[in-house]
Amino acid sequence: MLNNQLLIELLYTFIIVSSSLFIYLKTKKLYSLTTHQGIRSFRDAFFYLGLAFIIRFILFLLPSFALGTTTLYPLGLGFNLLLFYTLSMGGFSLVYSLVWKHFHQRRIILLHMVAIGISIIDVFYISKIFFIIQLVVLLYAISIMYSNYMSASTKSVFQQSYFIALILAFIGYLTNFLVDVFVVSYPFIKYYAYIITVLVFMIFAFGVWRRLKWPKKENV
Amino acid sequence: MAKKRERLEVIFDILSAIRDEHNNIRPTRLLYRSNLSPQMFKEYTQELVEKGFVEKKELTDGNKSFTLTKKGFEFLEKYQVIIGFIHDFGL
């Protein structure tokens, strides 16, 4: 049973981290050519999310190591803080990639401070605050994307897919939140959350791959 | 009134102007082709030189000229893909 769980967690982590890494690396050239802030934030989002899922897997493995509670507790605490920070920064960076043009000054430092604040509050004070904030952030991203889509003069299939991916991400987070609260009663729900999350990352990775088919060299 | 150009669009216009003038254009001519104020032109060309898209050369007659680097050509080749990506992802 434990081995099955380990395999599932390993596969899940592998798919998410690979997708995130793929997106991050595939957009490297794009960023180096443009130094576009939106592209930078988009890449950062997947950097943080990939890192978050690695930390999540480490947290899953931690209890299996023969560590005493005096070592395990602070380690677990530290990794939890990092997990919530990286997940928060992933969500914030994705939203910032959509709205950065509306700000005259860069707000990156502010995002880091808020992400650190959320992780501290969630770990030490109000559990579940992270989930609630991320749900609000995702709802905001969905509204921005919908607004962008409706006001675009040309509408692409991928814009629709991106919108659907954000809605799925919202459902995934909501499912994760419910799992966290009701896990004792409905443990199987978490696997639905896993499937949704994998689907979201696949949509983004496919979109990046599809969109970034560089033209063959031609005389300019 | 003409719509304000985005930063990448301005860069594309500047690099295209250099390419169209057989990859050798005087600053005054480029200023005219770029349709920018002298202040903005100076800022953009400085950025393009610093980031390696463009080289500023001194000619034998003492005048200066701008030429594209390999990176500048690459930007022009990939511009449509770049714009498509930014549009699709709402960035």
pLDDT in tens, A113-139: 999 999 998 888 877 888 888 889 889
Q: Which residues of A touch B3 (CB under 8 A)?
A: none
Which chain B residue has its CA at the smallest distance from A152's CA? B87
Distance from CA of B76 to the nearest CA of A (A): 8
Q: How far apart are CA A86 and CA A82, in angstroms?
A: 6
Q: Encoding tokens for residue A210?
A: 């599809």
**Closest by Cβ to B77, choosing from A38, A98, A220:** A220
Distance from CA of A78 to the nearest CA of B (A): 33
The helix (run of H) or strand (run of E) holding residue B51 is: none
The neighbour count for residue A28, using CB atoms within 10 Å, is 11
* Cβ–Cβ gap B88/A148 under 8 Å: no
3-state secondary structure at position B5: coil
Confidence of residue A108 (pLDDT cuts 50, 70, 90): confident
Q: Give the residue among A150, A189, A36, A71 at the shortest CA–CA distance from B82.
A: A36
User: Chain B contacts of A36, Cβ < 8 Å?
Assistant: 7-8, 86, 91
Model pLDDT for residues A49-105, shown as the tens digit of each residue: 999 999 999 999 888 776 777 777 888 889 999 999 999 999 999 999 988 888 766
* CATH ID of B15-83, from 1.10.10.10, 3.90.660.20, 2.40.50.140, 2.60.120.10: 1.10.10.10
Q: B4-59: per-residue pLDDT in tens?
A: 788 999 999 999 999 999 999 999 999 999 999 999 999 999 999 999 999 999 88
| Domain boundaries, given as residue ranges, for chain B | 15-83
Q: Pick from B73, B76, B84: which is nearest to A211 by CB?
A: B84
C-alpha to C-alpha distance for A108 and B77, rounded to whole angstroms? 31
Read off the pLDDT band of A216 (50, 70, 90): low
Residues of chain A found within 8 Å of residue B87, distances taken between Cβ atoms: 152, 154, 156
Reported ipTM: 0.85
Residue A32: its pLDDT value, please?
Answer: 93
For position A220, what pLDDT does the model report? Answer: 41
Enumerate the residues of chain B whose CB falls inside 8 A of the CB of residue A35: 51
Is B59 in the A-facing interface, judged by CB distances under 8 Å? no
The rounded distance, in Å, linking the Cα atoms of B3 and A50 is: 39
Give the fold, CATH level 3, of A2-211. Rhopdopsin 7-helix transmembrane proteins (1.20.1070)
Neighbours of B1 (CB within 10 A): 3
**Which comes out higher in pLDDT, residue A214 or A156?**
A156
Residue of A42, A158, A213 with shortest CB distance to B91: A42
Contacts of B74 in chain A (CB under 8 A): 33
Q: How many CB atoms lie within 10 A of CB A94?
A: 24
Listed by start position, the domains of chain A span 2-211
Residues of chain A contacting residue B80, judged by C-beta atoms under 8 Å apart = 215
SS3 of chain A: CHHHHHHHHHHHHHHHHHHHHHHHHHCHHHHHHHCCHHHHHHHHHHHHHHHHHHHHHHHHHHHHCCCCHHHHHHHHHHHHHHHHHHHHHHHHHHHHHHHHHHCCCCCHHHHHHHHHHHHHHHHHCCCCHHHHHHHHHHHHHHHHHHHHHHHCCCCCHHHHHHHHHHHHHHHHHHHHHHHHHHCCCCCCHHHHHHHHHHHHHHHHHHHHHHHCCCCCCCCC
Q: Do B87 and A156 touch (CB under 8 A)?
A: yes
Q: In Å, how far are A101, B2, B72 from B39, measured between CA atoms?
A: 22, 19, 22
Residues belonging to chain B:
91
Taking Cα atoms as reference points, which of B34, B42, B2 lies closest to residue B16? Answer: B34
